[in-house]
């Protein structure tokens, strides 16, 4: 609304607009507890009101455990008895009363193998005979472990090309241009892209799938980083679209029995049954309780607390008891949603719960098969969010696609206990 629009308003309309603006400005700011904002954006407590650091009373102390396979063991023996001043010979047996590790990183230097092609003169016919070209003469001079290190630092530690160039020069004495680093990433992405296709096939066999997405920058445009999670497969996908077509492209013709996601419409309708993430709704309700004096948000919070409590103890109830508790929860929710809030915030959250109501208690029909929160997908997306904040996105689509291929393979292997760097080396080898 500009100045001309304000000039056309009556005095009563101006007063009403002023009161609405004043009410909006007086609303509490959203935090990580009442929205999807990260905890780093929360205002820090004043020092005098902050919790003290350090170990809490009653906390059991911990110390560093000794290394399982030390490279060298040095025994320290006493030479003289402090009581009688007698000599203690080297042949005396001793008991270990203490063990301490001294850990150091050895000097790091590249291991370079120079392949030289020789030409020999035949002693019989005096012909010049050249050795065949070795494998090292073809392709990249950099080995799979160096490729893996570059890929690991760029993908999982968000090291920029400029800092990666300096890190390799300072730590390893390897001088690589940023163009050479980009070419290394392109070569390294290829086996991960191939492996990702197999993981997508596994995902298309899953009966329970969770999905989520977050914003990224690709070639200066707004894009989206999607994640799809099954019990044996985690697939990351980079696209410029946030539409439901992305889900259909990844899932193909497969329609799982259960689908878990937040309330975004593009992520609904892809499974036979849908469970809405209750953690997202809990944050929205918490903000409504804080910002509104209406009773509807508080009643919804109490109702949702009962749902969470039932989910935690669900395995201890018989099927008939679960059905009875579900009917009770449904009836209570119907009564709450039939209210007529006088506050805009309360009405917004009431309408949101009304739209999501058919998908809130799906987990009760399939005990133990589907979670009530989508925290797994959010944890899988968190490294991509951190990389976005550090690097501001990708300069090319191939980099975004390759990044998702690497994360797909690494996160899937994490399900079986594999570490990221070992997974990278195994895939490149």
Rounded to whole angstroms, the Cα distance separating 339 from 341 reads 6
258: helix, strand or coil: strand
Going by C-alpha positions, the residue among 158, 191, 189 that lies closest to residue 394 is 158
- Average pLDDT, stretch 301-323? 91
- Statement: residue 25 has pLDDT above 70: no
Position 12 scores a pLDDT of: 77
The alpha carbon of residue 229 and the mean position of all alpha carbons in its chain are separated, in whole angstroms, by 12
Cα 409 to Cα 194, 198, 372, 374, distances in angstroms: 10, 10, 26, 21
- Statement: residue 157 has pLDDT above 70: yes
- Statement: residue 47 has pLDDT above 60: no
Question: Do residues 179 and 345 make contact, with C-beta atoms less than 8 angstroms apart?
Answer: no
- Average pLDDT, stretch 335-364? 91
- Token representation of residue 270: 């892809």
Write the pLDDT tens digit of every residue in 250-304.
Answer: 999 999 999 999 988 899 889 999 999 999 899 999 988 888 888 899 999 999 9
- Average pLDDT, stretch 319-329? 92
Q: Is the pTM of this model over 0.85?
A: no
Rounded to whole angstroms, the Cα distance separating 31 from 38 reads 8
Position 9 scores a pLDDT of: 72
- Statement: residue 225 has pLDDT above 90: yes
Rounded to whole angstroms, the Cα distance separating 367 from 349 reads 27
More confident residue, 58 or 205: 205
Question: Do residues 93 and 77 make contact, with C-beta atoms less than 8 angstroms apart?
Answer: no
- Statement: residue 427 has pLDDT above 70: yes
Would you give the DSSP letter of residue 265?
Answer: G
- Statement: residue 378 has pLDDT above 90: yes
**Mean of the per-residue pLDDT values of the chain:** 88
Lowest mean pLDDT among 31-35, 345-349, 378-382: 31-35
Please state, for a pLDDT cut of 70, what percent of the chain lies above it. Answer: 90
Q: How many CA atoms lie within 13 A of 71 on its CB side?
A: 5
- Statement: residue 412 has pLDDT above 90: yes
- Average pLDDT, stretch 163-184? 92
- Token representation of residue 247: 């889900």
Position 27 scores a pLDDT of: 62
Position 18 scores a pLDDT of: 62
């Amino acid at each position: 609304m500009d100045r001309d629009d304000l000039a056309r308003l009556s005095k009563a309309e101006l007063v009403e607009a002023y009161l609405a603006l004043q009410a909006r400005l007086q609303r509490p700011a959203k935090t990580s507890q009442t929205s999807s904002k990260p905890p780093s954006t929360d205002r820090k407590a004043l020092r005098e009101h902050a919790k003290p650091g350090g170990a809490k009373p009653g906390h059991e102390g911990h110390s560093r455990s000794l290394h399982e396979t030390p490279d060298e063991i040095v025994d320290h023996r006493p030479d003289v008895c402090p009581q009688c001043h007698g000599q203690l010979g080297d042949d005396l047996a001793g008991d270990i009363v203490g063990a301490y590790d001294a850990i150091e990183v050895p000097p790091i230097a590249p291991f370079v193998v120079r392949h030289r092609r020789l030409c020999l003169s035949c002693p019989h016919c005096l012909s010049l005979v050249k050795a065949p070209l070795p494998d090292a003469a073809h392709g990249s001079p950099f080995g799979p472990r160096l490729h893996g290190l570059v890929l690991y630092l760029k993908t999982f530690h968000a090291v920029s090309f400029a800092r990666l160039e300096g890190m390799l020069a300072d730590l390893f004495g390897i001088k690589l241009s940023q163009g050479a680093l980009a070419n290394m990433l392109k070569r390294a992405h290829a086996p991960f892209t191939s492996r990702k296709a197999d993981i997508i096939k596994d995902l298309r066999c899953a009966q329970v799938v969770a999905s989520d997405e977050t914003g990224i920058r690709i070639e200066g445009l707004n894009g989206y980083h999607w994640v799809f999670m099954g019990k044996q497969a985690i697939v990351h996908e980079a696209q410029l679209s946030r539409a439901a077509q992305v889900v259909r492209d990844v899932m193909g013709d497969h329609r799982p029995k259960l689908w878990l996601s937040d309330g975004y419409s593009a992520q609904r309708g892809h499974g036979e049954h849908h469970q809405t993430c209750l953690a997202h709704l809990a944050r929205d309700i918490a903000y409504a309780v804080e910002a509104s004096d209406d009773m509807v948000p508080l009643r919804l919070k109490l109702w949702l607390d009962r749902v969470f409590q039932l989910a935690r103890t669900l395995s201890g109830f018989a099927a008939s008891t679960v059905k009875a508790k579900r009917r009770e929860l449904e009836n209570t929710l119907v009564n709450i949603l039939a209210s007529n809030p006088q506050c805009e915030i309360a009405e917004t959250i009431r309408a949101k719960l009304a739209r999501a109501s058919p998908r809130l208690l799906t987990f009760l029909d399939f005990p133990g098969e589907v979670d009530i929160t989508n925290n797994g997908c959010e944890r899988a997306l968190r490294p991509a969010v951190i990389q976005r904040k550090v690097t501001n996105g990708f300069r090319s689509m191939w980099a975004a696609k390759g990044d998702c291929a690497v994360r797909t393979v690494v996160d899937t292997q994490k399900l079986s206990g594999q570490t990221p760097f070992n997974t990278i080396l195994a895939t490149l080898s």
